[in-house]
Amino acid sequence: MSRTAKNAVIIMVATLLSRVLGFLRETILANFYGTSMVADVFVLTFNIPGLIISIVGSVIYMMYIPMYYDTRDRLGEDEALKFTNNILNILSVFSIIVSILGIIFAGEIIKIFAIGFTGEKFNLAVQFLRIMMFGVLFLSLNKIQSSFLQVKESYLPASIVGVVYNIVIIIAIFISVKLGSYYLAIGALVGLFIQVLLLLPCMYKRGYRYSFYMNIKDESIIKMIKLSIPMMMGVAMSQLNVYVDKALASTLGDGKLAALNYASRLNDFVVALFVTSLITVIYPKLSQFVNNKDTINFKKIIVKSSNCIILVVVPIVLGAIILAEPIVRVLLERGSFSAESTAMTSNALKLYAIGIIGYAVKEILSRGFYSLGDTKTPMINSSISVIINIILDLIFIKPFSYMGLAMATSISYMVTVVLMFFSLRKKVGSFNGSAVVSTFLRSLIGAIVMSIVVILIYNNLVAVLGLSFIGECTSLAASILGGIIVYIICMKILKVEEMKLVEDSVKNFFKR
């Protein structure tokens, strides 16, 4: 687990750099476009290629890793490489077909994804989407590239290419201000293409060699397809959550969709930095344990990973709720991003933050099921989650507007993680779930104490330094630092076992 944790820290650092640039990208976008029509259009069309390919691409990514290990252990490394090329070629052909169809039927797609877009806003969205649809191909290739590098225990390249991607989009934003908003879409497409190019030499360095082999009747492909069908349905249901939120938000007037997006981006920072970083490392390990029939270590890594995530995420959630408004103000409020934009975005951020814990543990448990070859259980749970989300969306949207959509998403995550916890326990037997609950409760106690300290430090410093940019940055930094120190002390007093694991991982990283 120590090596796993060390790799996770490496990914966190790379992801942090990428996400900092991502925030800079969002800040620059907010400065020039705020919560305007162009911002709404770019936010929507920027996400559509990812939504489309996520249904197939994410399934391939999930199934590729356990299938690669299975093929390698049964037939050898050469056959595993052949399997990789087969997947790569099949997915490329599929993605090109989807891209062409997306370009042809762009108008119909926008009508589905943004029922509130009309007139100039609708026409601009159609043009943006036609430019960005070939991103489906590049996203698909990137999924396979990242998966291959993971099975070779090379985690850094796939994390670091996000830095280049964000730089390209930042450049595109500046160009779009001078030459026209279409360059936003062009920049997003170019950024995805460059990511694929940069990962190719990393793959070759670790033994990859391309060959044009495409056989849909291959034994491994058939097995993957059978396992993928319920998973694909589950991912499709999960994406329905995103679609429903965006479609309903598009009916609430200009700015609401963009505000939800900015809040979601801030929320995604935490998810990518801590949750995705750990899952990227543990998923291959889980698959190896299952392949070796090592149930004991399989259960241990599920519990340890869940505890580490809870230990880190719980204080972040409370901190985000307390400091949402000053965080959004410092990061985004400038240019066209007004005080009203800050209020909308910070309200959404508070509600999205509540769901981070549920989402994080849900992702770990999902990987457990996938590595066991069980794709039906996550699909059933995802379906229940979507039904709950849609019902709550329709209930909350009238009294709470856009905030109701964020609230519904968070509640659906929390319900799903409870269902998945009991489902996994039923499948593999008891895996010390009481340890997870114990860690959560101790983390919550520490986070509450931390929150009190954060509020005191921030309010007192703001009273002295004021709300200027420098003053607020100083107040935020001091209150966050003070909160971290208090939380660490609380975790030591409460003797949370995973605290030492996190400390050792950080120390080992700086010794490298």
pLDDT in tens, 398-412: 888 888 999 998 998
Residue 505 has a pLDDT of 55
Residue 510 has pLDDT above 60, yes or no: no
The token pair at 215 is 């056989």
Residue 509 has a pLDDT of 47
Determine the Cα–Cα distance for residues 302 and 368; give it in Å rounded to an integer.
7
- In 3D, which of 243, 475, 231 has the Cα closest to residue 375? 231
Q: How many domains would you assign to the chain?
A: 1
Contacts of 440 (CB under 8 A, 6+ apart): 310, 314, 357
DSSP class of residue 276?
I
**pLDDT tens sequence across 313-344:** 899 999 999 999 999 988 888 777 788 888 88
Residue 468 has a pLDDT of 85
Residue 59 has pLDDT above 80, yes or no: no
Residue, of 247 and 317, whose pLDDT is higher: 317
Residue 507 has a pLDDT of 54
Contacts of 189 (CB under 8 A, 6+ apart): 131, 132, 134, 135, 138
What is the pLDDT averaged over residues 163-181? 89
Element containing residue 181 per DSSP (H, E):
none
What is the pLDDT averaged over residues 340-354? 89
- Of 46-50, 264-268, 358-362, 506-510, least confident by mean pLDDT is 506-510
- Of 41-55, 120-134, 211-225, 294-308, least confident by mean pLDDT is 41-55
Determine the Cα–Cα distance for residues 472 and 465; give it in Å rounded to an integer.
7
Residue 54 has a pLDDT of 65
The token pair at 365 is 């448990």
Instruction: Identify whether the C-beta of residue 110 lies closer than 8 Å to the C-beta of residue 27.
Output: no
Residue 444 has a pLDDT of 93
Instruction: Identify whether the C-beta of residue 506 lies closer than 8 Å to the C-beta of residue 5.
Output: no
Contacts of 367 (CB under 8 A, 6+ apart): 62, 279, 282, 283, 286
Determine the Cα–Cα distance for residues 86 and 69; give it in Å rounded to an integer.
15
Highest mean pLDDT among 150-154, 374-378, 396-400 belongs to 396-400
Determine the Cα–Cα distance for residues 509 and 261; give it in Å rounded to an integer.
33
The token pair at 128 is 């943006």
Give the CA count within 13 Å in the CB-facing half-sphere of 440: 12
Residue 1 has pLDDT above 50, yes or no: no
Average pLDDT of the residues of the chain: 84
DSSP structure string for 76-99 = -HHHHHHHHHHHHHHHHHHHHHHH
- Of 110-114, 242-246, 466-470, least confident by mean pLDDT is 242-246
Residue 448's pLDDT band (boundaries 50, 70, 90)? very high
Residue 432's pLDDT band (boundaries 50, 70, 90)? confident
Determine the Cα–Cα distance for residues 452 and 454; give it in Å rounded to an integer.
5
CA angle 449, 455, 461 (to 5 degrees): 135
Instruction: Identify whether the C-beta of residue 504 lies closer than 8 Å to the C-beta of residue 5.
Output: yes
What is the pLDDT averaged over residues 463-467? 86
Residue 8 has a pLDDT of 67
- Of 233-247, 304-318, 325-339, least confident by mean pLDDT is 233-247
Q: At what angle do helices 295-332 and 339-354 cross, to 10 degrees?
A: 170
Determine the Cα–Cα distance for residues 271 and 231; give it in Å rounded to an integer.
21
Element containing residue 215 per DSSP (H, E):
none
Residue 2 has a pLDDT of 54
Residue 488 has pLDDT above 70, yes or no: yes
Residue 453 has a pLDDT of 95
- In 3D, which of 10, 391, 330, 27 has the Cα closest to residue 174? 27
**Model-level pTM greater than 0.75?**
no
Residue 168 has a pLDDT of 92
Residue 482 has pLDDT above 90, yes or no: yes
Distance of CA 439 to the CA centre of its chain: 24
Amino acid at 299: K
What is the pLDDT averaged over residues 80-97? 90
Residue 275 has a pLDDT of 77
CB atoms under 10 Å from CB of 418, counted, come to: 13
Instruction: Identify whether the C-beta of residue 366 lies closer than 8 Å to the C-beta of residue 282.
Output: no
What is the pLDDT averaged over residues 433-445? 87
Instruction: Identify whether the C-beta of residue 163 lies closer than 8 Å to the C-beta of residue 17.
Output: yes
- In 3D, which of 5, 14, 59 has the Cα closest to residue 366? 59
Determine the Cα–Cα distance for residues 193 and 210; give it in Å rounded to an integer.
18
Amino acid at 228: S
What is the pLDDT averaged over residues 236-243? 73
Q: Which range marks the domain in which residue 105 is found?
A: 2-511
Residue 39 has pLDDT above 90, yes or no: no
Determine the Cα–Cα distance for residues 389 and 19; give it in Å rounded to an integer.
28
